Structure 1
Amino acid sequence: MGKRKEITGKDNGKQKMWTIITVIIVFFAMAGYAGMSYYYSDRFFRGTTINGINCSGKTSEEAEQAVAKKAEDYLLEVKARNLKSQSINGKLIGYRYVSDGSISQYLDEQKPYKWVRGFWKKQNYTAKENMTYDKVKLKEQLEKLECVKKENQTAPEDAYVAYKDSKFEIVPETEGNTLDFNGAYQALSEAVAGKKRTIDLNSCPAVYVKAAVLKDDPDLKNSLEECQNLIRTKIVYIFGEETVTLEGDEIRKWLIFDERGKLQKNEDELRQCVAEYVAQLAATHDTVNTEREFCTTSGRTVQVYSSVYGWKIDQEKEIETIMQEMIAGVQINREPVYAMRANARGMNDIGSTYIEVDLSAQHLYYYQDGSIILESDIVSGDMQYAERQTPPGIFQLYYKKSPSVLKGKMLENGKYEYERPVTYWMPFNGGIGFHDASWQPYFGGNRFREGGGSHGCINLPADKAAELYNRIDESVPIVCFY
């Protein structure tokens, strides 16, 4: 058997010493761990970040301050239309952090004895950054921006209709950069409240004043169509063999444009131009209230005036018709709207069918298509009395009646100056007309000068009055002359 090793006193001493050292090490290790646990009882572990800020070893207050410092280091860049960007510093608007207690809560949830995990495991927290600011100061800072100053603002311009390159077109609106202050303030408030660091006012819908009329405005499109119709309009007036044309080139002269070519739409001015055009038409082609040459059967040429016969354009109705046709862009051949019409065109608008009453010769001729179909001696108004003389002129039949009673003025006693029954009555000028006159001893000659004339009427033999009554109608001109 081998020899047994004996434990000496020296060996026992060494063993005790290592035991004591181990105990001491463990004690200090535990004390250190406990101390670190205590240290991290009110501090964040190593490797802790809050909102991207390293908060290792920081108390909740220190972490709050670090987060607040970062949050309050705020600068808002403001981009404005057509101007350089400017910035609003958070300090100038009282921009500051308000704790909601979440950082303290994160610390409270931390287990201090697990502090050692921070050496190999990172902990990231996101705390809500509750910010507040002074709204009055924000408004003051907005007022200082260049984009708010009136001298830096350009008003928007409405889209409009213009005449360019021989056609009408819509010129689009321009934006301008006039700010709506309340809208701009609202946009800035939302940006600050949202912690945005850049705002482009151009992208905010309620910031800039917009043009009232945009290029796609329905009323503007209707206006464009009306303008296109105006210059598309072509009215060919027919005056017998003569024509007069009103078309786009003339109408365009009636429109008013500014220096940019913008149409200054003014219906009253346009109507006035139309009225002047129609007045010129009437001055050139109306024959009412004019004298015309008339070749008599006797060979004389006389000047005959009439205020009740001839061509007369109804100017008001013609103006309205043109206005409607221009709006519709009508192309049409037509006569003007007439208030009165004659039987023919030209210098003599009487035509070839008419009744000629030669008051000097005391003779009547009825022409039909240029041929005499009836003639008769007559007795006209008594030349010894101015009020009884038959007026010259051109007239037309009012109506005819058979039989009838001719009456003079009503006297104070209620009776008439005279009452004469006639078989054929054909008035054409007030109370003057053709009728049979059985009381006349003869017709023609100088009876009308010698006291045997009528009160202004044209007296006819009964058979001639009957024939005239059966032939005459309201369209036949009656030409009376001396």
Structure 2
Amino acid sequence: MNNEENKGTLPEDDVGRPDETTDIEDRINATLDKILDDDEDEFDDIQVDYEDPEDEEPDNEAPDEENREIRETEDDYEKTKVWTDSSEEADEEESEEVMEEEPEQEEEVPAVRSRHKSARPGPVIYVPMDELDQNSDVPPGTRAKKKTHKGLKIFGLVMLMIIVLGGCAYGGISYYFTDRFFEGTWINGVDCSQKTAYEVEQLMAEKLSEYSIEVSSRNIAAQTIRGEDIDYQYMSTGEILQLLKKQKPYEWIRGLYEQKSYTVSENVGYNKTLLQEQLKSLNCAQAENQVEPENAYVAFRDNQFVIVPETEGSKLNIKEAYKLLDAAVEANEASIDFSDNQDAYVSAEVTQDDPALQSALEACNNYTKASITYTFGDQSTTLDGNTIKDWLQFDEKGQLVWDDNSFQQHVADYVAQLAATYDTVGTEREFQATSGRTVYVSSSVYGWKIDQAAETAQLSQEIQSGTQTTREPVYSQTANAYGVNDLGNTYIEVDLSEQHMYYYQDGVNIFESDFVSGNMSYADRQTHAGIFTLYYKKSPDVLRGGQKGTANYYEQPVQYWMPFDGGIGFHDADWRDEFGGDIYLTSGSHGCINLPPENAEVLYDLIQYDVPIVCFY
């Protein structure tokens, strides 16, 4: 048997000795595991210039001794690797899957037996690891898989460490903000980032320590009240601490990109007595600077009535001004202007918007509009604004001084003047008798008489409402005609001297008769001269006179009774045989006009209530 054959076979007595083979395989596996698991990074750092012998061009045809020894060593290694591969077949299932993707090797490794070697150690040959890797039978996919697995483990460890460190940092910062405000937190315009509630309270107190308020007023330069003058100081309300408690520490990261602003009440304390004293010491509260307000009023200007507005004045209402100042100080206001609030000053009692003043203006304007024209037959007179305005009273400023009593008196006087001019009751008239005589008669019961009370009331109302009208005055008594001779053309003429009467209707004599009037021998029986009207008429009736139970008492039945002057009237007198003449001088009646019965009947049918009865001597 030659040496070539001995290299590829093992002695028959060595076959089937697993203890030696197993020991070699364990050592090889342990070496490889150590290299792959523990020193992989070191091997990766080693750079070896390695060239594939097959790619190199030999310098000479005969290999030297050293290369021969290397090849022999590689052959021995590969033979040993065959045994190792067969023993680790189950552990490299994963590598086989990767190897399936690579091209199959054309040459099979023959199953050989190791020949028995001498115990003498062979020469130690240095083989570069890269070369060893290339020459080894470890599948390339297995090697890459192990490297990738190792990198993932390292990456996972690094990421775990980062997460743990990040979590610790986040938790630490969250703990830091358990008693501090987040970044971007502002309270009442103060940056409270990373500050405790106490620190924020101190900032608030510091901000208010220099407090002052500027006080402005009408026509007076502004003055300043300093906080130290009224013991002004910050008082905590606990709102800042409540805001901090509502904050969730683990949300601290929101403060890095989100700003929040809060407003809390800045409760302050100060001495109110000192504040009152400061207010009273201001120039606007001094007596010499107080100007009383003036009321609005109605004035007659440019031929019309207008309202002159009130003036504000500068008299300070100390009580109301203090309330306003106190509220401003409590609200931490930097300034206050009393001019912005009417309550701070004494106001005019009458303003231009006052309803009573508006009514007065309307009434005054109506005075100038009012025009009342009175008619008295063919005569007339007019009352208008030119007269009415003179009834109003104005002061030296042209302000209307309204006095209703005075105004009403002017109206009453005007009505009285009308009555004096146009009333005919009680006046003496010139009368042309049928006999041709001119007589003068008067009457207290006949004629025109204005009802002055009623007319005054109506005229006052018309003036205030601006009425423009033409009318008669309100009369309490009227006559048949206007003018001095108000008898007209219809009347009854009773000529007592002639003892004869006439009834004229529209100037036509429709009735006449003799009569007997009152006995002139007795003063109390004489028929009265004057102008009268009929009271009523009655048929029949009983005339009674004198005092009952005395000698002068009488009762006289009549058929036609027509009274016109108290108990005096026209009636029939059937007990007389003669009428007219001078019978009345000594044998006249008790004052009545005695008529023949037939004439009395005619007159009873003709007489009207408003016909004047003119009696004269």
Q: CA deviation at 1:283?
A: 0.6
How many residues align structurally?
424
Contact 2:266 2:332 in 1 (8 A): no
Contact 1:309 1:342 in 2 (8 A): yes
Of 526, 537, 548 in structure 2, the residue corresponding to residue 411 of structure 1 is 548
In the alignment, structure 1 residue 393 sits paired with structure 2 residue 530: yes
Aligned position for 1:436: 572
For 2:539 and 2:187, how far apart are their aligned partners in 1? 120
Q: CA deviation at 1:74?
A: 2.8
Which residue identity lines up with residue 568 of structure 2 in the other structure? I
For 1:397 and 1:372, how far apart are their aligned partners in 2? 19
Contact 1:437 1:462 in 2 (8 A): yes
For 2:265 and 2:299, how far apart are their aligned partners in 1? 57
Aligned position for 1:23: none
Aligned position for 2:369: 232
Which residue identity lines up with residue 584 of structure 2 in the other structure? F
Aligned position for 2:284: 147
For 1:127 and 1:366, how far apart are their aligned partners in 2? 107
Contact 2:197 2:241 in 1 (8 A): yes
Higher strand share: 1
Aligned position for 1:424: 560
Aligned position for 1:343: 480
Contact 1:50 1:67 in 2 (8 A): no
Aligned position for 1:206: 343
Inter-CA distance 100–467: structure 2 relative to 1 (3 Å threshold): closer
Contact 2:267 2:330 in 1 (8 A): no
Which residue identity lines up with residue 583 of structure 2 in the other structure? R
Which residue identity lines up with residue 279 of structure 1 in the other structure? A
Greater shift in the superposed pair: 316-325 or 91-100: 91-100
Inter-CA distance 298–175: structure 2 relative to 1 (3 Å threshold): same
Q: CA deviation at 1:343?
A: 0.6
Deviations 1:348-395 (A, max 9, x none): 111111111111111111112222222221111000000000111100
In the alignment, structure 1 residue 467 sits paired with structure 2 residue 602: yes
Which residue identity lines up with residue 439 of structure 1 in the other structure? W
Inter-CA distance 392–60: structure 2 relative to 1 (3 Å threshold): closer
Deviations 1:317-372 (A, max 9, x none): 00111122122221111110000001112221111111111111111111122222
Quote the sequence identity (%): 55
Inter-CA distance 90–467: structure 2 relative to 1 (3 Å threshold): same
Deviations 1:238-297 (A, max 9, x none): 100000111111111111122232222222221111000000000111111111111111
Aligned position for 2:505: 368
Greater shift in the superposed pair: 437-446 or 134-143: 437-446
Aligned position for 1:455: 590
Q: Rg: which structure is higher?
A: 2
SS at match of 2:587: coil
For 1:417 and 1:261, how far apart are their aligned partners in 2? 73
Of 410, 419, 422 in structure 2, the residue corresponding to residue 282 of structure 1 is 419
For 1:106 and 1:244, how far apart are their aligned partners in 2? 88
Of 434, 438, 442 in structure 2, the residue corresponding to residue 297 of structure 1 is 434
Q: CA deviation at 1:406?
A: 1.0
Which residue identity lines up with residue 182 of structure 1 in the other structure? K
Aligned position for 1:314: 451
SS at match of 1:303: strand
Higher helix share: 2
Contact 1:407 1:416 in 2 (8 A): no
Aligned position for 2:581: 445
Inter-CA distance 325–185: structure 2 relative to 1 (3 Å threshold): same
In the alignment, structure 1 residue 323 sits paired with structure 2 residue 460: yes
Contact 2:266 2:331 in 1 (8 A): no
Larger relative contact order, structure 1 or 2 (CA cutoff 8 Å, min sep 6): 1
Pairing of 1:260-275 with structure 2 (within 5 A): 260-275=397-412
Aligned position for 1:12: none
For 1:194 and 1:408, how far apart are their aligned partners in 2? 99
RMSD over equivalenced CA pairs, Å: 3.5
Which residue identity lines up with residue 443 of structure 1 in the other structure? F
In the alignment, structure 1 residue 197 sits paired with structure 2 residue 197: no
Which residue identity lines up with residue 600 of structure 2 in the other structure? A
Inter-CA distance 233–104: structure 2 relative to 1 (3 Å threshold): closer
Q: CA deviation at 1:90?
A: 2.0
Which residue identity lines up with residue 427 of structure 1 in the other structure? P
Contact 1:356 1:365 in 2 (8 A): yes
For 1:375 and 1:50, how far apart are their aligned partners in 2? 118
Which residue identity lines up with residue 152 of structure 1 in the other structure? N
Can you give the 5+ residue segments of structure 1 that lack an aligned partner in the other structure? 1-48, 108-123
Of 159, 165, 187 in structure 1, the residue corresponding to residue 296 of structure 2 is 159
SS at match of 1:206: helix
Of 120, 134, 137 in structure 1, the residue corresponding to residue 274 of structure 2 is 137
Can you give the 5+ residue segments of structure 2 that lack an aligned partner in the other structure? 1-185, 245-260
For 1:204 and 1:210, how far apart are their aligned partners in 2? 11
Deviations 1:8-27 (A, max 9, x none): xxxxxxxxxxxxxxxxxxxx
For 1:234 and 1:394, how far apart are their aligned partners in 2? 36
For 2:512 and 2:218, how far apart are their aligned partners in 1? 93
Deviations 1:197-229 (A, max 9, x none): 211111135312333443334443333222222
Greater shift in the superposed pair: 137-146 or 210-219: 210-219
Aligned position for 1:171: 308
Deviations 1:394-415 (A, max 9, x none): 00000111111111123237x9
